[in-house]
């Protein structure tokens, strides 16, 4: 295993927020094999690169295209499984689908700016806040996106519209993953809940917030119910979770192990669940002081190691996955609970994303310091490749949209929920969770909103003003909008937090500008109507009547 950090200003030294490697390798005119990768940065650009591994295990990176259409920072880029489409999501709540023009010529002159010609195919609009994550369906006909507007949206790519708005979340949706078996979508948000959503029913079928965790006998946490995920003070914009390639496991970052003593510190971890039962995790992979940010699974199956330990999970093969922490990359497999490899101290900034090549030998990591690192494995270094004859869970076809009102919501009104929550969903230790919420001194949005339900007009105001309410509840360490942050936003710095704060402020202003006509017609009359009512009531019982009688 070799790790190389090319000295390239990938996005003009701005943070590289996302990276993805296209399936399959290609040949250039010289007969060299290269991999096509895409990067998204805080400079509003999506860039296409060709990476070649030399005979001496060196890395050659060539810039080939600049995709210029985004007006805000690009948080996520993802190639479709069909290799035909590239999706990119930004801080302007827009998803752009790109296609490589057919008949592109690799023999273009070297002074040509773009050696590959990419064109925007479709633009998906439905979110009202920053988009943090995207995941494609196995057939490349659908995708799911997660946003700061507390929703995840299922998109029909061919029709260019949404088929469902998953609005059950009570916090920013920072990670989404589409089941390789085409049955579920999994999300993780800042409300500390991981949800498993049935694609056909558009319902939450499992969710987990608290649970018992696997511990050795006699451990202080044995049999105790603890929280599993970080709250909204998590030190990253992203919580990129993933399914394993066979769909049997769900691997979620941003996990925690809470101490029983008040003086103890929280230990970070990666949580592994079974798709069949998320009531309790299968494995807890601790990372001590480093919080985990992104997880990606190697797309290759490997043979079980004969000299290795007894497999933790009863599978006829091994699956390898990489976990990106704040400054390290840990490699695990399903045969043991401790890492099989680790790369650390390769960047000065926080890691943001990670991606595998389709042959399982190249891993690329992006960082907020403006650089990317390439990790290359020798042949069979991770193990002997295992040939899978039949998948563990046969893929299912995506149901066609039936046109039901509950599965499609038009416009930006979030008042009517587009997803029904299954009452039989697994609420882990829901009784204790409700008690904890009742004792929580922090203010919540819902009680304030319930007071506004006295009239139908108030409901309209609440629905329309949801975006502003959510903006004021952003994580304090990432995107809190207050006076102190506004004063420091003008300083020149490379801190990504300030970059995002400025973008968030611009977005708020932009959305408020768009919503001005609605505010003028709905909010103002309500405020004006309430005052006359009070005056009339006071007039009826005021001393004026007594004076007249005298």
pTM of the predicted model as reported, rounded to 2 decimal places: 0.71
Token pair, residue 129, equals 């806040």
Residue 481 has a pLDDT of 35
Residue 63 has a pLDDT of 95
Residue 432 has a pLDDT of 38
Strand 225-227 to strand 16-21: parallel, antiparallel, or no bridges (unpaired)?
A: unpaired
Quickly tell me which residue has 């007969």 as its tokens. Answer: 31
Distance of alpha carbon 33 from the chain centroid: 32
Quickly tell me which residue has 């310091």 as its tokens. Answer: 369
Alpha carbon distance 80, 137 (integer Å): 8
Weakly modelled stretches of the chain, pLDDT under 50: 106-109, 394-543, 546-547
| DSSP assignment of 371-426 | -EEEEE--TTSS-PBPPPSS-SS---PPPPP---GGG---SS--SS-SSEEEEEEE
Residue 70 has a pLDDT of 95
Q: Where are the beta strands (DSSP E) in 427-503?
A: none
Give exposure, 82-115, as e/b (b: 16+ Cβ within 10 Å).
eeebbbbbbbbbbbbbbebeeeeeeeeeeeeeeb
**Rounded to whole angstroms, what are the CA distances from 355 to 223, 297, 377, 401, 449?**
36, 8, 14, 31, 41
Superfamily holding 2-105+117-376: YVTN repeat-like/Quinoprotein amine dehydrogenase (2.130.10.10)
Strand 203-208 to strand 420-426: parallel, antiparallel, or no bridges (unpaired)?
A: parallel
* Domain ranges, ordered by start, for the chain: 2-105+117-376
Residue 200 has a pLDDT of 94
Dihedral angle over CA of 113, 116, 121, 122, nearest 10: -60
Alpha carbon distance 321, 330 (integer Å): 8
Alpha carbon distance 172, 129 (integer Å): 10
């Amino acid at each position: 295993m070799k790790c190389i950090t090319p000295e390239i200003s990938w996005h003009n030294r701005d943070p590289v927020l996302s990276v993805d490697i296209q399936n399959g390798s290609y040949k250039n005119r010289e007969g060299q094999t290269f991999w096509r990768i895409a990067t998204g940065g805080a400079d509003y650009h999506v860039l296409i690169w060709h990476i070649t591994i030399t005979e001496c295990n060196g890395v050659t990176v060539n810039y080939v295209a600049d995709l210029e259409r985004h007006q805000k920072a690009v948080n996520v880029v993802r190639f479709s499984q069909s290799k035909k489409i590239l999706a990119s999501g930004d801080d302007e709540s827009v998803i752009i689908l790109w296609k490589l023009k057919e008949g592109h010529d690799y023999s273009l002159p070297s002074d040509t700016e773009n050696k590959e010609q990419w064109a925007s195919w479709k633009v998906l609009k439905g979110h009202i806040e920053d988009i943090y994550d995207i995941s494609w369906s196995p057939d490349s006909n659908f995708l799911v996106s997660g946003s700061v507007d507390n929703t995840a949206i299922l998109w029909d790519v061919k029709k260019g519209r949404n088929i469902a708005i998953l609005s059950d979340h009570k916090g920013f949706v920072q990670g989404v993953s589409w089941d390789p078996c085409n049955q579920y979508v999994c999300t993780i948000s800042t409300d500390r809940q991981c949800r498993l959503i049935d694609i056909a029913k558009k319902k939450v079928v499992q969710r987990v917030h608290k649970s018992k965790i696997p511990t050795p006998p006699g451990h202080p946490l044995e049999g105790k119910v603890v929280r599993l995920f970080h709250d909204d003070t998590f030190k990253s914009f992203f919580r990129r979770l993933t399914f394993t390639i066979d769909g049997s496991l769900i691997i979620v970052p941003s996990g925690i192990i809470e101490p029983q003593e008040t003086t103890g510190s929280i230990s970070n971890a990666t949580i592994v669940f079974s798709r069949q039962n998320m009531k309790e995790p299968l494995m807890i992979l601790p990372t001590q002081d480093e919080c985990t940010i992104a997880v990606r699974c190697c797309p290759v199956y490997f043979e079980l190691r004969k000299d290795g330990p007894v497999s933790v999970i009863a599978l006829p093969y091994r699956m390898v996955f990489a976990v990106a922490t704040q400054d390290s990359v840990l490699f695990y497999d399903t045969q043991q609970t401790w890492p099989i490899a680790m790369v650390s101290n390769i960047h000065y900034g926080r890691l943001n994303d990670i991606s595998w090549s389709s042959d399982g030998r190249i891993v690329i990591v992006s960082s907020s310091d403006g650089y990317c690192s390439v990790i290359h494995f020798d042949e069979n270094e991770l193990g002997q490749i295992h040939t899978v004859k039949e998948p563990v869970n046969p893929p299912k076809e995506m149901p066609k949209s039936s046109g039901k009102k509950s599965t499609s919501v038009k416009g930006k009104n979030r008042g009517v929920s587009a997803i029904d929550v299954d009452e039989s969903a697994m609420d882990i230790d829901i009784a204790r969770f409700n008690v904890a919420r009742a004792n929580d001194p922090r203010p919540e949005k819902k009680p304030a909103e319930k007071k506004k339900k006295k009239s139908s007009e108030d409901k309209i105001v609440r629905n329309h003003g949801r975006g502003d309410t959510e903006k004021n509840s952003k994580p304090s360490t990432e995107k809190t909008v207050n006076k102190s942050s506004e004063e420091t936003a003008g300083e020149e710095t490379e801190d990504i937090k300030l970059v995002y704060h400025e973008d968030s402020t611009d977005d708020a202003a932009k959305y408020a500008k768009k919503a001005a006509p609605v505010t003028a017609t709905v909010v103002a009359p309500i405020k004006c109507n309430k005052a006359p009512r009070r005056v009339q009531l006071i007039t009826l019982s005021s001393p004026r009547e007594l004076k007249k009688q005298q």
